[in-house]
Amino acid sequence: MPKSKQSILKIVLVNLVILGTTVLLLIVFGEIAIRSFIPSADHSGMVRLTSTPITYEMIPNLDIVREGVQINTNSDGFRDIEFTGEPKAGQFVIALLGDSYVFGQGVPQSETLPAILQGLLNRYHKTGRFRVWNLGVSGYNTEQEAYQLEHFVLDKKPNWVVVGYNINDIEPIGVDPGLIKTEEKSEQSMWGRLSRYIHNDLLITQFVKQRIGNFIRLFNPNWYASTYAQDTVNQYLAPDGPWHEKVSGLLKRMKSECESKGIGFTVALLPAMLDFRNYPFQKANNIILDFCKKNQIDCIDTLSYFKNQNFMNFWVSSMDPHPNAKAQKIYAKAIADHLKPKISLAGN
């Protein structure tokens, strides 16, 4: 005897409830599992707002744990031991400017790029006189780094300045709300808060989105959040874009200011931890390299040191594509190899 429409509807509703409950349980247990293995991505309380053009700076004398690693800052607000004044006789100081890649997000202090570079140079030259300052601040761009150089670094007279350049350093100055503790805006709707939580706070959402992206790139290697990679490259290509209008000029100015004080200057391109075989920002890299060559700015592209390697092996975690300790070591090796003969030729 055929089932009635009510019976069929009841069966459909029951199955939908079972399916919905199953999906919800998978999300809950998936979230619990990921949070059990992945350090918290909370970076709040690391910076403070300022009235200067840099907008924000690291808080001095921090002693906190973020993303599973200890964060300690010195009295100048940098992730390093105390800086001295001008280099002492026989000491060679390198000031390394940059963003979260130089700061070492998710990486212990002893395994950050500046710390490893310092050790490599001292081993190469069989001495202990090299000192590399970690001036990295998460989220900084070239404009903020230029301000650091002019208002903090130059007065201390280091022997060399290295700018760790990330492809997104052309983006305008902004403050990542994740770095500053803020109260939730009361006027935000319930749906707005829920949407933000799902997209920004649920790790399972980020985990799934990353895996979907990796699957899509098997068939379309150029797919990175649909248009982000190409949009970024276009900002380098456009004659009226931020690279040509501002950032390239800032690098020229930084070089000139260092030269005027007898300080060496190098730009180190630090690639994002994305597909090295089909690097999505290669065109932008080439533009930067051509610019540096044309303007006689010393430059090292560390991308070649990652050739044919699996980019996901260099992520801080499966949820955070920031360069891990392995990547930091490769950055440092590339920069040390590049600087070693230059420092020797300079008689240092």
Measured between alpha carbons, how far is 200 from 151 in angstroms, rounded to an integer?
35
Residue 102 CA: distances (Å) to CA of 59, 147, 164, 183: 17, 17, 7, 29
DSSP designation for 94: E
Q: Classify strands 298-301 and 264-269 as parallel, antiparallel or unpaired.
A: parallel
Amino acid at 217: R
What pLDDT does 163 receive? 98
For residue 52, what are the contacts with CB-CB under 8 A and spacing of at least 6? 147, 151
Q: Tell me the CA distances in angstroms from 219 to 55, 165, 212, 224, one per residue in order.
A: 42, 30, 12, 12
Q: Which CATH number fits domain 47-176+224-345: 3.40.50.1110, 3.40.30.10, 3.30.70.2740, 3.40.50.150?
A: 3.40.50.1110
Q: Round to whole Å and give the CA distance between 108 and 311.
A: 20
Query: What are the pLDDT digits (tens) for 266-283?
Result: 999 999 999 898 899 999
The string of pLDDT tens digits covering residues 100-129 is 999 999 999 999 999 999 999 999 877 888
69-72 and 63-66 beta bridge pairing: antiparallel
pLDDT tens profile 299-332: 999 999 999 899 989 999 877 889 999 999 999 9
Q: What is the pTM of this model?
A: 0.81
Interstrand relation of 315-317 and 160-165 (parallel, antiparallel or unpaired) = unpaired
Instruction: Return the pLDDT at 345.
Output: 53
pLDDT digits (tens, 9 = 90+) for 227-238: 678 888 999 999
Give the pLDDT band of residue 1 (cuts 50, 70, 90).
very low
List 320's β-bridge partners, or say none. 317
Q: What amino acid occupies position 130?
A: F
Per the model's pLDDT, the better-predicted residue between 135 and 226 turns out to be 135
- The pairs formed by 23-27 with CB atoms below 8 angstroms and a separation of 24 or more are 27/202, 27/204
Half-sphere exposure of 28 (CA within 13 A, CB side): 6
Report the Cα–Cα distance between both ends of the chain, in Å, rounded: 95
Q: How confident is the model at residue 185 (pLDDT cuts 50, 70, 90)?
A: very low
CA distances from 73 to 106, 131, 190 (A): 15, 17, 38
Burial class (CB in 10 A: 0-12, 13-18, 19+), 317: middle
Average pLDDT over residues 180-187: 51
CA-CA-CA-CA torsion sign (160, 166, 171, 177): negative
Q: Which of 177, 163, 182, 204 is nearest to 292 (CA)?
A: 163
| pLDDT tier for residue 34 given thresholds of 50, 70 and 90 | low
